[in-house]
Amino acid sequence: MNRKKKLYKNLFNTVLQYFSGKKFIPVTFEEIVQKLDIDKGHLSVLRSILKDLLKQGKISLKNKIYSLPSKKKASLLKGTLHLHPRGFGFLEPLDKSYPYREVFIPKPYTNDAVDRDIVEIEVNPEVSAKGPEGKVISIIQRGRTHLAGTVCDFENKMAVVFAPILGSDKKVLLKTNKKVKIGDRVTMQVESWSDEKKNIVANLKKVTGSIDDPSFDIDAIIEEYEIRHLFSKEIKSLVKKIGSSVQKKDLKDRKDFTHLETITIDPETAKDFDDALSLEKDGEGNYLLGVHIADVAHYIEEGSQLDLEAFERANSTYFPGVCIPMLPQELSNGLCSLKPSVIRLCQSVLMKIDPDGDIIGYQIVRSYIKSKKRLTYEEAFSIIENKKKSKYAPTLHLMVELCHLLKKQRFQRGSIDFALPEARINVNEKGNPTSITIIEYDISHQLVEEFMLKANEVVATHLSNKHKNVIFRIHDKPSDETMQDFFTLLREYGFIVPKSPNQRQLQDIFLKAKESPYWKEISIAFIKSMKLAFYSHENLGHYGLSLENYCHFTSPIRRYPDLIIQREIFSENSNKVNFAEIATHASNQERKSMKAEQAAVMLKKLRLLKSQDPNRIYQATITRIKPFAIFFDIVEFFMESSLHISELKKDFFIYNPKSKTLTGRHTNLTYKCGDQIEIRLVKTDLIRLQSKWEIHKKLRKKK
């Protein structure tokens, strides 16, 4: 037995004996080191032992505290694993009657399972405030046969591939007779999910360009995240039969709204116009708001190949400069799109709203319109601000008036109002990023959102009152733990926060925060503390909007649940449709598209950073301080990065858990939330989508 194995065995027995002792109490890693007097040179061995004991279920770990497993009987549960790139995951139970929508699987407990595997887990009977946790005990069925990624190294005559969908801890070894090089983007067929060293082994299927060529970025990400992007010949044939223009027979039994002054307001690059707006006032001072939505359901026959493909995709996916549509472009950008000066079929929600903002009457009807004007957000804003003359100015000003009224009412019921600017990556025809445009969330965006929210609420309430099936848009209340972390952050920024503020108190804090230099950081932190919204056949309410009934209805060109809602409004019988299955699938597809979109945006941002002067200094704001790292927001690029404390130069920094600061032992230099720093880019890793930075200078705190 070699020295290392002997050390492992002896230390393993010592650690196990310590945990088995009668007087054992839960401990941290540092306390184990201290109590067992572990030599500094043996810390890596201790970590390996603790990791193995965790996998064997002999000890448990929670909030960095090691303890003995609960004696309560654990239950078994089967489901689909959704793995995060950082290694942890969530199990979606196959049994829909299970009381929780998902079970958290900590990183050490995924046990060789990968994203989308169907697994069996052992559920920890001790449910935390955040919900149940579990560990994978067996893999029932693998969720995929193929992987895609980028060659990042070579090992034993095989290429090592980083596959984003698996995260950084899973190593893929590529067997190939063909010469591949570092940076090649590859698609592989899995041969073995776990060799003797627990590596995944795969065979080469094809090479999709190089990481050095940005023109292949989107193609590679489509492969990596398995985004459906091609339409079959059968679907193309179906689209051709539908035609490219509205027929006279299509107008039968529809309300003619071509006389209304309908306008669309969308991003400059948009081509799929789902919604048009009309607004007038009657003689009694009531607002007559019309939200006219493209009647996609008229063209997509339920159960057809076109419908099944739309279901599989569940949503459109938007990359910088490229859209992967849910529907073929002949429909999404053509026949269904509410283009100006042409007749288009709609489902219209007509609302009568009194001067207090209350709906005193509504209708949902099949209709047809002829949009009078296609406005971009920028054009609409210029008209609203009286910087540009337009015949539509009176209507837009009336829309602003109603928008403020609806926002006020939403605020009064407890909805929190915050608006963040958006960063749009501009790319050229070769896929190279050229610049970042900041899109301000101004009143032109806000009025469209308010009217869409109101239409969605009306439709959800209408269907609920008629006891019809609905795919609700659900937003759960955040956990107390994450909200307390957020409140702590607010206090660090200098705000007075009660121990457990109610919605009204939180609104007041947000109003003050809007006037502070930390508004952006606070908004981002608040969003991160929220749970992700999802679709459900059960009505669980929408926390963020403070609504009991809410669904998605206004974007049927790019979201499948909206198309289902369109059908349900006018259907006599929907029993053959599995609403629960659609809701779950749409939620999963939305999550997958979001990951792919974020990867594409980050890759383009890193390319843009890499093209800059290597000595350039960037402005950043510290957003979080942890015992091990500083997190900061790079202002110009709308991106977060971090710096490990070991990379902080010239001093040894100590973390203060009370003040959540890092202070240099010798220089007394302190870093805290809200501090402005100047940073320099050290390195970019396009394969793993990471960047490395160094602090150039600490500036004064923002005022």
Among 435, 618, 418, smallest CA distance to 521 is for 418
Rounded Cα distance between 588 and 596, Å, is 13
Question: Residue 623 in contact with residue 525, Cβ under 8 Å?
Answer: yes
Provide the pLDDT for residue 512. Answer: 84
What percentage of the chain exceeds 70 in pLDDT? Answer: 96
Average pLDDT of the chain to the nearest whole number: 90
Rounded Cα distance between 13 and 389, Å, is 82
Element (H, E) at 324: strand 322-324
Among 13, 12, 24, smallest CA distance to 66 is for 24
Strand partners, 365: 348
Name the packing angle between helices 480-492 and 519-529 (round to 10°): 170
Domains of the chain: 3-67 (1.10.10.10), 75-141 (2.40.50.140), 146-212 (2.40.50.140), 242-475+535-584 (no CATH), 480-530 (no CATH), 612-698 (2.40.50.140)
Question: Residue 199 in contact with residue 173, Cβ under 8 Å?
Answer: yes
Question: Residue 275 in contact with residue 292, Cβ under 8 Å?
Answer: yes
| Long-range pairs of 459-462 with CB within 8 A, sequence gap ≥ 24 | 459/349, 459/364, 459/551, 459/553, 459/565, 459/569, 460/549, 460/550, 460/551, 460/553, 461/549, 462/362, 462/364, 462/569
Question: Residue 32 in contact with residue 12, Cβ under 8 Å?
Answer: no
Where does the pLDDT of residue 22 fall: very low under 50, low under 70, confident under 90, or very high at 90 and above? low
Lowest-pLDDT choice from 20-24, 252-256, 316-320 = 20-24
Is 302 in a helix, a strand, or coil? Answer: coil
Report whether pLDDT(72) > 90.
Answer: no
What DSSP state is assigned to residue 333? I
Burial tier of 447 (Cβ tally within 10 Å: 0-12, 13-18, 19+):
buried
Q: What is the pLDDT of residues 342-396, one digit of tens each?
A: 999 999 999 999 999 999 999 999 999 999 999 999 999 999 999 999 999 999 9
What DSSP state is assigned to residue 587? H
**Which residue has better confidence, 394 or 666?**
394
Provide the pLDDT for residue 526. Answer: 85
Is the C-alpha dihedral spanning 198, 204, 206, 212 positive or negative? positive
Rounded Cα distance between 32 and 26, Å, is 10
Is the C-alpha dihedral spanning 594, 598, 599, 601 positive or negative? positive
Q: What is the pLDDT of residues 618-647, one digit of tens each?
A: 999 888 888 889 999 998 898 999 999 888
Element (H, E) at 139: strand 134-141
Bridging pattern class, strands 172-175 and 200-210? parallel
Q: What is the pLDDT of residues 218-233, one digit of tens each?
A: 999 999 999 999 999 9
Q: What is the pLDDT of residues 540-597, one digit of tens each?
A: 999 889 899 999 999 999 999 999 999 999 988 755 688 999 999 999 999 999 999 9
Place of tokens 């041969």: 191
Bridging pattern class, strands 184-192 and 322-324? unpaired
Q: What b/e string do you get for 179-205 counting C-beta neighbours within 10 Å, with b at 16 or more?
A: ebeeebbbbbebeebeeeeebbbbebe
Q: Which residues have CB under 8 Å from 282's CB, separation 6+?
A: 288, 352
Provide the pLDDT for residue 360. Answer: 97
What DSSP state is assigned to residue 361? E
Rounded mean pLDDT, 273-297: 97
Please list the helix, strand and coil fractions of the chain in percent, rounded to the nearest 5, in that order: 30, 30, 40
Alpha-helical regions (H) of 341-422: 377-384, 393-412
Where does the pLDDT of residue 129 fall: very low under 50, low under 70, confident under 90, or very high at 90 and above? low
Question: Residue 241 in contact with residue 357, Cβ under 8 Å?
Answer: no
Where does the pLDDT of residue 71 fall: very low under 50, low under 70, confident under 90, or very high at 90 and above? low
Is 338 in a helix, a strand, or coil? Answer: coil
Q: Which pTM value belongs to this model?
A: 0.85
Is 690 in a helix, a strand, or coil? Answer: strand
For the CA atoms of 466, 467, 470, 476, the dihedral, rounded to the nearest 10 degrees, stands at 110
Strand partners, 566: none
Output the six-digit token pair for 96: 């829909």
Lowest-pLDDT choice from 207-216, 444-453, 663-672 = 663-672
Place of tokens 């939180």: 506
Q: What is the pLDDT of residues 671-684, one digit of tens each?
A: 988 888 999 999 99
Provide the pLDDT for residue 279. Answer: 98
What DSSP state is assigned to residue 335? I
Lowest-pLDDT choice from 91-100, 469-478, 674-683 = 91-100
Radius of gyration of the chain (CA): 28
Rounded Cα distance between 432 and 604, Å, is 7
Element (H, E) at 662: strand 661-664
Helices (H) and strands (E) in the chain, counts: 15, 33
Question: Residue 510 in contact with residue 416, Cβ under 8 Å?
Answer: yes
Rounded Cα distance between 181 and 296, Å, is 46
